[in-house]
A and B are shown apart, each in its own frame.
Chain A
Amino acid sequence: MKDDIKIAGHGGQGVVLAGSLIANAAMDQGLETCGMVSYGAEMRGGTANATVIISDKPIGSPVVVNPTTALILNEPSLKKFEESLVPGGIIIINTSECKKKVSRTDLEVVLIPATEIASELGNKKATNMVMIGAYIKKRGIIDIQVAIKTLKRVLGKKPELVEINQKALIKGAEQCM
């Protein structure tokens, strides 16, 4: 079992934190994990993307060329990464900020209005958590209960943020029921 995950969006959408939460949850579940945040010549507010590999075996190359899963938070990211996914890969799209349709027919597409859901819950910034919730449920590798515990650990210094993020995570998972 191995999942090469690409998370992409624009700066401020919590791409880096999303990658960190998935990697931490995988670690907490006893899996191997390796992550990388793109460190190109990007500016604040520009595009952001991160990769996380989770596996039950030691990880070789930390570089993801062809992801098996993609979390797409905005439209430019779909254009940038759609072609790179492996056939049969899962693509989860935040339809609130990506109106474009997936043109490939060999992908499993999950459409979630993540930003709208997060806004309804009270904080647009929890968009990334809605997406992770959907990912966890859809891919079925990480246990949602483990992820909630991880969330509490990672946000230990900001307990006021735990509740909204936890709600967003669960709401995201419910979208894939």
Chain B
Amino acid sequence: MTEKILMKGNEAMVHAAIKAGCTFYAGYPITPQNEVPEQMSALMPKAGGIFIQAEAELSAINMIFGASAAGVRCMTSSSSPGIALKQEGISYIAGGELPCVIANVMRGGPGLGNIRASQADYFQSVKGGGHGDYKLIVLAPSTVQEMYDLTMDAFDYADHYRNPVLILADGITGQMVEPVELKDYKPILELPSKSGWILDGCKGREPHVVKTLFLESDDRLTKHNIHLQEKYQRIKDELCLCKEYKTEDAELFIAAYGITARVCKEAVDAARKLGYKVGIIQPVSLWPFPEKIFAKYKGKDFLVVEMSCGQMIEDVKLSLECKGKIHFMGCGGGWYPDTEQIVTKVKEIYGRS
């Protein structure tokens, strides 16, 4: 067995980023993601990279715009209210097709909310929190090891598709300590050369332009949108990350992602001991949503569990074309499900159907 060390999810993201060749980080402190800038400030200079504590979230995300335009692997992180502040910049980065990694360690909202874990930024992440028709690739880790692995992979997805990638974690996955194997970096995808578009000094060649303003002609921006949509379609065709647990003989399917999926797993084991045939579908890529996996179970009964008042449930319903009974369990503001509550809900559903 390879050596494992204990660390927080937030710290694991930093180690993964640096191993993946990230050389620029800019961020602004906010609980519960403070270990990210803390560790970045300690490790990034040692790795020969740059750490900047920006004066605000807005400047941090625009520094990422700049670093990415210069061809550097770069990352920023924040928690819900801070990510909300970054939305303008995220829309620009997506519009400019700039690769970068953004981590959101979600906390309770709306507003300043609280510092407890939450999953209420799903809509913001997968539907586009900023303006315009754009998509982020959104990945949802549920263990500290996945915080590491998915962050590392995120840099490859970003460069491969020239698109920002969002790690959608929560206060618990960020704060919990688990053993993690600090795997070496090996690209998982072909990484196209950036030399054709990055801004690295144009001596001896035509200047490159990275921009999001298109006023040259009436249809210039339309063409750019069509190009973006074609890219998003390609990502949808190629990327589908999803885990299934005990679905082979399941009668009731629980849909949950991130930390909630872990609690559901425990609940499924407990429910099965009582004779209820329950399984889990755990989307790992939230965009693209694993529609194909859900479509296999069209017409079956579902229970969606989220630490929000019901957001992912919309994508579940769309994927299932609203066939079958689709139940919901969840609340916002730092509510956290426990195994017993989920088992009780399962019993309730069985009683009803």
Contact = CB atoms under 8 A, between A and B. Distances in A.
Interface stretch (B158-166, B175-183, B186-194, B284-292): B175-183
A64 B339 CA distance: 11
A2 to B, nearest CB: 10
A27 B338 contact: no
A40 B31 CA distance: 10
Interface string A49-64: 0000000000111110
Contacts of A1: none
Contacts of B259: 62
A65 B263 CA distance: 13
Contacts of B177: 20, 23, 34-37
Contacts, number: 55
A24 B6 contact: yes
**B interface, how many residues as a size bin?**
20 to 34
Contact of A60 (B4, B31, B32, B339): B339
B179 A62 contact: no
B178 A34 contact: yes
A60 B266 contact: yes
B172 interface: yes
A33 B266 CA distance: 15
Contact of B6 (A33, A41, A60, A65): A33
Interface in B282-340: 336, 338-339
Contacts of B345: none
A145 to B, nearest CB: 20
B73 interface: no
A62 to B, nearest CB: 4
Contact of B262 (A27, A32, A36, A62): A62
Contact of A36 (B176, B263, B266): B176
Contacts of A59: 178, 262
B265 interface: yes
A33 B178 contact: yes
B115 interface: yes
A35 B176 contact: yes
A86 B83 CA distance: 39
A56 B32 CA distance: 29
A56 to B, nearest CB: 14
**A interface, how many residues as a size bin?**
10 to 19
Contacts of B269: 60
B37 to A, nearest CB: 15
Contacts of B266: 60-61
Nearest to A35: B177
A36 B265 contact: no
B307 to A, nearest CB: 11
Contact of B172 (A23, A24, A33, A62): A62
B6 A61 contact: no
A33 B31 contact: no
Contacts of A65: 338
A157 to B, nearest CB: 14
A36 B339 contact: no
A142 to B, nearest CB: 14
Contacts of A23: 6, 177
Nearest to B338: A65
Most A CB within 10 A of own CB, among B32, B171, B179: B179
Interface in A52-106: 59-63, 65
A63 B115 contact: no
A34 B172 CA distance: 11
Contacts of A27: 4, 6, 179
B55 to A, nearest CB: 24
24 contacts: A20-B6, A20-B177, A24-B6, A27-B4, A27-B179, A33-B179, A34-B176, A34-B177, A35-B176, A35-B177, A35-B178, A36-B172, A39-B31, A39-B32, A39-B115, A40-B115, A59-B178, A60-B262, A60-B269, A60-B339, A61-B262, A62-B178, A62-B259, A63-B336
Interface of A: 20, 23-24, 27, 32-37, 39-41, 59-63, 65
Given A36-B177, A37-B175, 11 more contacts: A27-B4, A33-B6, A33-B178, A39-B115, A39-B175, A59-B178, A60-B265, A60-B266, A60-B267, A63-B172, A65-B338
Interface of B: 4, 6, 31-32, 115, 171-172, 175-179, 259, 262-263, 265-267, 269, 336, 338-339
7 nearest A-B pairs in the assembled complex, by CB-CB distance: A60-B266, A35-B177, A61-B263, A62-B176, A27-B179, A36-B176, A34-B178
